[in-house]
Amino acid sequence: MPSFVINEKCDGCKAQDRTACQYICPNDLMVLDRETNKAFNRAVDMCWECYSCVKICPTQAIEIRGYADFMPLGGVVQPLRSSDSIMWAVRFRNKVVKRFKFPIRTKPEGSIDPDAGFTTGTEDLKSPVLRTEPDSL
Amino acid sequence: MNADNFKTLVVETDLLILGGGMAACGAAYEASYWAKKNKQRVTLVDKAAMERSGAVAMGLSAINLYLGLSKGNNTVDDYVSYVKNDLMGIARKDLVANIARHVDSSVHLFEKWGLPIWKDEEGNYVNEGRWQIMIHGESYKNIVSEAAKSALKELGEDGAYYERVFITEPVMYEDRCVGAVGFSVRENVFYVFKAKAVLDVMGGAVHVFRPRSVGEGLGRSWYPPFNSGASTYFTLKAGAEMTCQEVRFVPVRFKDSYGPVGAWFLLFKSRATNAKGEDYMEKRSSELENWAPYGTSKPTPANLRNYLMLLELEEGNGPIYMRTDEAIQKLVAEIPDEKESRRKMKELESEAWEDFLDMTVSQALNWASHNIMPEETPSEISACEPYFISSHSGASGAWVSGPKDLAPGEHHWGYDNMTSVKGLFAAGDAAGASSHKFSSGSFTEGRIAGKAAIAFCVDHPEAFEISEEQTAAMKERVLQPLKTFQEHHAYTNDEDVNPNYIKPRMFMFRLQKIMDEYAGGASVGFKTSGALLTRGLEYLQFMKEDAEKLAAADLNELMRCWENVHRMWQAESHIRTMLFREETRWPGYYFRTDYPRMKEDWEAFANCRWDPESGKWEMIKREIL
Ligand SMILES: Cc1cc2nc3c(=O)[nH]c(=O)nc-3n(C[C@H](O)[C@H](O)[C@H](O)COP(=O)(O)OP(=O)(O)OC[C@H]3O[C@@H](n4cnc5c(N)ncnc54)[C@H](O)[C@@H]3O)c2cc1C
Ligand code: SF4
Ligand code: SF4
């Protein structure tokens, strides 16, 4: 069932006008059931297992159960994404657990300066020189 | 859902960017700068949320195109030769060179924006292969889309982006593309975007062919299921000339979850062998002579590496294994000091897992559920199903103008990356014959096209009146599946089974079945022939008629309807071009059994064009300049 929602943990993003999982899914699969106030994946066989919904859910209510048509039960891969790094817990079918931590960005979100301190060497719209070039080359 | 209560919103802009992926972000970044100086407006439209839309949604573990020009690591010509050889001679040198000469600048920007790039002790980027550098790329797309949004913001009211708006059709004014229409997948709104220039950057296509997994794993195609041929459909419907529509890509990846193999081959220097432990690339090297001069050049083109593997499987020597165990042990054994070698083992383990966790988490899950430790157990690899992705190792897309200072004679017609239709531009997966641009090159090509498109806007200030009748007719057409459903669904007990219409899901399966069986899909070993293709085309004509009867119960299904119409057009141009090219040139991508060899007179581009006036297809052979 690729991505699935743990009912107990999902709070429907506190009834805000859009839920985090619905906002992010690149294939528009996550929807909120207005009656139960719980999210669900509406077409599990169109899920890329991209983990975008898993990473963004504020209550860690979403996990992935590997595609049952080729993955044996029992494996779990679960991320915890912070502002500058991501931690992964990989649990094997035989219960072995491995943990990994990787950086994800070196500058805080929201701080990007498009020119990044480079200057553009031309004003000519017809020249092949692009924004920030030749400085950034 | 009532198709009659849709609002129509008209949005006016100067440059309209369709898509929100790597090329779109590059275009928004670059165009904003030049638009501000020249008082133009820029609007971007994405079917998803830019933060995680397109092929880089999950992240990536490498940037596959970086030259290191300033350090003298490579030259632009080196790259052009590599790309041309990998595509068996079929590539536009001017387009590849244009991307290559600018791409380092994009990578340096990514780093400044906060993308962590691996560095060695001297502070140099860590290369995976000659052109690839390693990154901690989980948030690659978040970073790049943030930069694009910040750039648009610099335009104030003149810069805007729309998310969750699905683009269906071009808006034409005589021979010029002057906008696009689409609909919101969240509320009942039909959008009409009017523009002076339009940039098509809606990615490639998947699920045109039947995937190997058809249960839950249907969605685990290597290429993301959310890119569905909108780029090709858009340029075709505008009447633009297309190129290399036959050049699909069949990647070889870890079996079933389709995890990347690049780091294993390049960084860890792993071998792939058959079940007996034989290295089939060595064993079958003489076969490469049949595909000279490309087959005998180094590196061996991707399709030929596939082909040797397919021959091995045909002979019954499968499964094929990536010898991860052997590779890791070898790297560790190179270090005599025991403590040091244990540290190295830990480091390699982390690198190996990160490669999957950054870009194909499913593969890590697959290893965990099969108890696979890569340092102990080899893993199976296999050929995926075919995809259309010209920014990678495929080549299908629009035929676009090259830059004035690089393009030979007829390959330049006014503005970089403009298609044969005035005012319509294409980049990334939407532009053909310039493979191997990858994430960084697609972003870069978006920049090139973005700047050129602003120049076009400045040179063509005239505005066109799009009549209300024209937009009303388009609205009716786009929303028709909702109406069809509304009119007929009550007739039967099951809304999916109704003689008056077809739902998008079965429509997709029908397309996939035709393509798989007649156009050389995975289940037939990627083999096809003139007779099979002709039959496939006949079946497609029935589909085109039935496309008028697609039905949608809600907005999500309406999107699925149009995605599959887009796929169907991708499929038709693919079949027609494979039929046109009477030879076999990329045997590991597809093999024409009736023309099993490469032919000198097909050392040429196979182009096609659908004529919006007559509705007829035209096939065009163009010289390689
Ligand atoms: C599995 C995989 C692994 C890869 N690995 C690497 C790697 O390691 N290194 C590397 O450099 N490159 C890699 N690439 C290549 C890279 O991802 C692509 O080259 C790049 O993303 C292409 O950019 P694009 O803008 O053309 O398409 P995309 O980035 O895919 O963007 C397409 C955009 O169009 C939007 N869209 C689609 N249809 C519509 C519509 N109808 N209406 C509105 N919007 C629409 C999508 O939402 C998306 O925003 C990989 C690709 C894949 C698939
Ligand atoms: S993001 Fe998490 S909490 Fe919010 S609706 Fe989705 S599953 Fe529920
Ligand atoms: S894993 Fe990705 S494709 Fe699947 S539901 Fe979550 S966001 Fe959507």
Local structure of B374: helix, strand or coil: coil
Q: Say if residue A134 is preceded by a cis peptide, omega within 30 of 0.
A: yes
Q: Which H or E run contains B198? A: strand B197-200
- Under 8 Å between Cβ of A85 and B354: no
A41, two tokens: 């994946």
Torsion of CA B66, B72, B73, B74, to 10 degrees: 70
Say how many Å lie between the first and final Cα of chain B, rounded: 53
Contacts of B14 in chain A (CB under 8 A): none
- E-only strand ranges, B281-344: 320-322
Tell me which residue of A41, A35, A52, A48 sits closest to A5, measured CA to CA: A41
How do A97-103 and A85-91 pair as beta strands? antiparallel
Cα separation, B612 vs B603, in Å, equals 29
pLDDT given at position A1: 61
Cα separation, B520 vs B527, in Å, equals 5
Distances (CA, A) of B604 to B530, B580, B585: 19, 12, 11
Residues of chain B with pLDDT under 70: none
Tell me which residue of B156, B165, B603, B586 sits closest to B386, measured CA to CA: B586
Rounded distance from Cα A21 to ligand 3 centre (Å): 8
State which of A11, A35, A54 you would mutate to test the pocket of ligand 2, scoring each by most atoms of that ligand within 8 A of its C-beta: A11
How do A62-64 and A3-5 pair as beta strands? antiparallel
- Of A7, A9, A23, A48, the active-site residue reads A48
Ligand 1 pocket by Cβ (under 6 Å): B 18-24, 45-48, 53-56, 60-64, 166-167, 201-203, 222-223, 227, 230, 359, 391-392, 428-429, 438-440, 442
Cα separation, B99 vs B406, in Å, equals 11
Which ligand neighbours the alpha carbon of B262 most closely?
1
Cα separation, B29 vs B476, in Å, equals 35
Cα separation, B206 vs B189, in Å, equals 27
With a 6 Å cutoff on the Cβ, whether A2 touches ligand 3 is yes
Q: State percent of chain A over pLDDT 90.
A: 95
Residues of B with catalytic function: 64, 128, 222, 253, 355, 392, 439
With a 6 Å cutoff on the Cβ, whether A57 touches ligand 2 is yes
What number is the ipTM of this complex? Answer: 0.98
What secondary structure letter does DSSP report for B584? Answer: -
Phi-psi region of B436 (alpha: psi -120 to 50; beta: other; left: phi over 0): left
> 3-state DSSP helix/strand/coil percent for chain A, to nearest 5?
10, 25, 60
In a mutational test of the B interface, the residue from A3, A29, A45, A73 whose CB has the highest number of chain B CBs within 10 Å is A45
Local structure of B620: helix, strand or coil: strand
Neighbouring-strand partners of residue B488 = none
Q: For B366-390, give the DSSP string.
A: HHHHTT--TTTS-EEEEE---BB-T
B122, two tokens: 């001297």
Q: What is the mean pLDDT of residues A70-77?
A: 97
> To the nearest whole angstrom, how far is the Cα of A102 from the nearest Cα of chain B?
7
pLDDT given at position B587: 98
Q: Say if residue B319 is preceded by a cis peptide, omega within 30 of 0.
A: yes
CB contact under 8 Å between B215 and A45, yes or no, is: yes
Q: State percent of chain A over pLDDT 70.
A: 99
- B409 vs A17, which has greater pLDDT? B409
Residue type, B442: S
Tens-place pLDDT, residues B605-617: 999 999 999 999 9
Residue type, B307: Y
Cα separation, B584 vs B396, in Å, equals 16
